[in-house]
A and B are shown apart, each in its own frame.
Chain A
Amino acid sequence: MWTVEITLLFLFFLFFSISFVYELLYFSEVVETEEWLGIKLPRFMRSFLQIKPIVSIFLGLFMVLYLILMASVL
């Protein structure tokens, strides 16, 4: 069970890392499209796109911390 949980946590950490990179790239593409068309996104969507990568990286870090905690207990 421990190995399954540690593997899952590691996969979650990988997911949040990839998600962080994807969200940053997606946001930059959205900004580029805004500039190209001259059409601004509504504020709530823009805020979401700005906040989401930060949330992802924090969750990824939380996964790492929990992994370390589990490893130290083991």
Chain B
Amino acid sequence: MNSFFEYFTDIYRAVKSLLTGMKVTGRYFFSPWEIVTQQYPENRKTLKMYDRFKGEVIMPHNEHNEHRCTGCGICETACPNGTIEIIQAKIDMPDGKKKRIIDKHIYHLGMCTFCGLCIKACPSDALAWGQEFEHAVFDRSKLNKTLNQPGSSIIKDIVE
């Protein structure tokens, strides 16, 4: 008699536990306002990333096509992966001396691990995080970017 009773209690407990779980899924089924999915490619126009989002390393330029990079190379040594490559150029100053300036600030996006050490290390705040995150390209060489724009120059008040 006892085992007979246990048999039915077990069935009752099993069905009850399954129904408790079904209650949760059922509740979400009938409350569509609790759905949190984002329709990503469709909402691209309204999609706003957070301000601190680490998309890629960029070099901000002002309206006169001027940046803050002196080409000192501290970011190059701070980078753990050899992502940044700095090519310097020499120009003749009016007083006859030669001065080193930045020629190309090459950034290999494909090697970047987004640790932020270059931006932290930069003494003249020339680098910043960009918001762009759709980096997929068909050709790997497109991931090698030159951060200083062609024809750009350094802002006058930056002291080395």
Q: Do A and B originate from a single complex?
A: no
